[in-house]
Amino acid sequence: MHSKPDRSIEAGRRERLRIRSRDFSGPTAGLAPGNVQSNLVILPQALAHDFLRFAQANSKPCPVLAVSEPGDPRLPMLGEDLDIRTDLPRYRVWRRGELVEEPPDISHVWRDDLVSFALGCSFSFEHALLEDGIELRHMTCGSNVPMYRTNIPCRPAGPFAGPLVVSMRPLKPGDAIRAIQITSRFPSVHGAPVHIGLPAAIGIADLARPDYGDAVPIGADELPVFWACGVTPQAVIAQVRPEFCITHAPGSMLITDLVNSKLASL
């Protein structure tokens, strides 16, 4: 008797193949609901240890899910057929801290010394919020979640230092309380919010002008709720200016075969 295939593996693989074949190029929020999505940072091996220390010192914005071997484009702990060079809708290529390219495939710049870091993403806990009936405005609008650089410094490690980046979701007060309860169960994908209300208190001048992603409308009866965000390494890279680096483009995540519920602490 044949066992049934794991639905999460099927869903993750299906979306990765769709992205790999260029049949999908938009934000990955809402794809393969229930599957863990991850942010991506790829650095030369010479910088990998310091970045790992930075991530460990800043686990709220940079929760490490997996690390590759140097030069290996696979992350088998996240998906057996996964290829880090082709399976995200869009990447960012950085040289000396400057963004030089946003390709859908990084095979042409791949090197034998590159180490990939998969970092937890808030798109994973969004599934739990939706299941609880909480509206997520960026999904309602069909846009990317808005993200902002803050005045909150990350803990430095080696050459890596810079500001915390947060994602924002407008919620009614009751939903905000419930969202805190739900997301606190997912420390591997940013956990509970880092700030609620008063954006100026964390250095955000205008919610209508996000540094990354798309602005979303906020109702008069809603509060802006801010979570630590995996785009933080991109703000750090722009400040540290490493010779070469690759990241995901904001909103374009790696869809894994892991199940969100298995990351829950309760």
In which region does residue 181 sit, left (phi positive, over 0), alpha (psi from -120 to 50) or beta (all else)? alpha
Structure token pair of residue 256: 């894994």
Q: Which residues contact 223 (CB under 8 A, 6 or more apart)?
A: 170, 171, 172, 173, 176, 196, 197
Confidence (pLDDT) at 33 = 86
Domains of the chain by residue range: 7-122+241-260, 132-232
1, pLDDT greater than 50: no
| Residues 129, 160: Cα–Cα separation, whole Å | 33
Q: What is the CATH number of domain 7-122+241-260?
A: 3.40.1640.10
Q: What percent of the chain has pLDDT over 70?
A: 96
Tens of pLDDT along 244-262?
999 999 889 999 999 887 7
Higher pLDDT, 58 or 234: 58
Using pLDDT thresholds of 50, 70 and 90, give the confidence band for residue 265.
low
- How many helices and strands (H and E) does the chain possess? 6, 11
Using pLDDT thresholds of 50, 70 and 90, give the confidence band for residue 4.
very low
- Rounded (10°) CA dihedral 149, 154, 158, 160: -10
Tens of pLDDT along 31-43?
998 899 999 999 9
3-state DSSP assignment of residue 114: strand
Using pLDDT thresholds of 50, 70 and 90, give the confidence band for residue 266.
low
Top-level CATH class of 132-232? alpha beta
Burial class from Cβ neighbours inside 10 Å (0-12, 13-18, 19+) for residue 172 reads: middle
2, pLDDT greater than 60: no
Taking the whole predicted model, whether its pTM rises above 0.85 is answered as yes
| Residues 169, 156: Cα–Cα separation, whole Å | 27
Tens of pLDDT along 172-212?
999 999 999 999 998 888 899 999 999 999 999 999 999 99
- Rounded (10°) CA dihedral 174, 180, 186, 190: 120
- Average the pLDDT over 4-29 and give the result: 85
